[in-house]
Structure 1
Amino acid sequence: MRQEMFGTLPDGTLYTKRRNLAYGRLYTAENPRIHSSAAKDGYETIPGVVCEFPCLGAYVVSFRTDKTMSGTHWGSLGEVKENCTIWIYFCKTLEKAQDRHYDMAYLVNNIQQASDGRWYAIVNVEENYPYCCFRFNTYSDGTYVQTAKIWDISMTYSANLHPYTPAPEDDETVVLTEGAG
């Protein structure tokens, strides 16, 4: 991680200056990730997006979608559900996150919608999983194709929702330099 993206609070706590820690592939409203599936448990690990956690603590995951979100996983129940779910796949290595594998899966069950339309939840990173990737779920009866879009994926080191910005690595207007210290 780049030093200039971090600061230290008076109590010594590290913070990330509202920086989006989810990087690798920028999905936007004009170019969202489109997921279509007729599977009963129609999930996909979102390609290209990974996150690095600088430390343990509270993080906020947020994103936009054209569907209503839920914190309930219907698995292979076999019913058409209009609600989708998001999962965080915690990983011990960057390679696992990039390959879309995981060491621990977490269903984001405290999801809520902000006044600006984004969906978000506070996620407590309590174990030593320094990386993650994201899974997006639709639910069907096995024949009906569910299609959902997701974009503006963000993870910030905070217990508060902040305005969306792309990760500096994915924003062509940001010039990253190695920090000195």
Structure 2
Amino acid sequence: MNSEMFGTLPDGTMYTKRRNLWDRPKVNVTTYKGHECEKWSCGLRTYYAPSVNMLAKVGPVGRETHFTVSFDYILILRETGTTNPMRHTYADGYIFDETTQKPKWFGQSGITGNRMFRPCEDWTHQRLTYRYQVSAGYAIALTIHPAYLRDIDADLYIRNIMITYGDEDYPYTPAPEIDETVVLTEGAG
């Protein structure tokens, strides 16, 4: 097997590292600066946060599970609000709290990379690696928001969204990259 292509989850099952896990349908598709992209808009005192629950895709995770988020963006920022404005990539999750018998937010995940969007007029590449630390079997949500926009008047043009296992920044491929019914052999990929 190609070790660069595959990895093993804590339960021993294998997964494809380069498979694009971002499979949310595209919305507000437009052409901007010569590229097909999505236009995500936010206004003052509102928020916009498209997300994917990674746990639904990977099942129970071990104590450390890494995901890399990468994409290209242009941010046209017109005005910033006054009630905790945000413009960044965001990831968090919930565990089941046995004491209260309810979901408990465990906060933002550890991150490698600069998660803030800076205003820019040309395509800028963003790459972040998130590290979730949760006990196996207790996590009930691991959520990744490529963009979390709150209380800003802005348009975010975003394209080539990739979420992959591990900490590599692979070239963009549409999701899913690989048909899971195809058996890959040594040297594949």
Q: TM-score range by the shorter chain?
A: 0.5 to 0.7
Structure 1 gaps of 5+ residues are 69-73, 94-101
Where do 4+ consecutive residues of structure 1 move more than 6 Å? none
Instruction: Determine the structure 1 residue equivalent to 2:172.
Output: 164
Are 1:155 and 2:163 counterparts?
yes
Q: Shift of the alpha carbon at 1:175? A: 5.4
**1:146 matched to 2:146:** no
Q: Deviations over 1:86-114 (max 9, x none)?
A: 11142569xxxxxxxx944427673279x
Output the amino acid matched with 1:164. Answer: Y
Compared with structure 1, are the counterparts of its residues 8 and 57 closer, same or farther at alpha carbon in structure 2 (3 Å cutoff)?
A: closer
Aligned partner of residue 164 in structure 2, secondary structure: strand
Letter in 2 for 1:32: E
Q: Which residue of 2 aligns with 1:88?
A: 91
Distance change in 2, residues 1:165/1:75 (3 Å): farther
Give the whole-Å Cα distance in 1 for the aligned partners of 2:38 and 2:179: 24
TM-score (norm 1): 0.56
Query: 1:88–1:7: structure 2 CA closer, same or farther, 3 Å change rule?
Result: closer
* Match of residue 66 from structure 2: 58
- Tell me if the contact between 1:138 and 1:146 (Cα under 8 Å) persists in the aligned partners: no
Give the 3-state SS of the residue equivalent to 1:46 in structure 2: coil
Separation in 2, partners of 1:58, 1:13: 16
Structure with higher Rg: it is: 2
- Correspondence for 1:106: 108
Query: Which residue pairs with 2:21 in the alignment?
Result: 21
How large is the Cα RMSD of the aligned pairs?
A: 4.2
Aligned residues with identical type, % of pairs:
22
Match among 101, 124, 127 for residue 131 of structure 2: 124
Query: 2: distance between equivalents of 1:176 and 1:33?
Result: 31
Equivalent in the alignment of 1:137: 149
Q: Deviations over 1:64-85 (max 9, x none)?
A: 21129xxxxx97257xxxx831
Residues 1:26 and 1:15: Cα distance change in structure 2 (over 3 Å): same
Could you tell me which residue of structure 2 aligns to residue 43 of structure 1?
Answer: 47
Between Structure 1 and Structure 2, which shows a larger proportion of strand residues?
A: 2
Q: When the two structures are aligned, how many residues end up with a matched partner?
A: 144
User: How far apart are the structure 2 equivalents of 1:176 and 1:131?
Assistant: 22
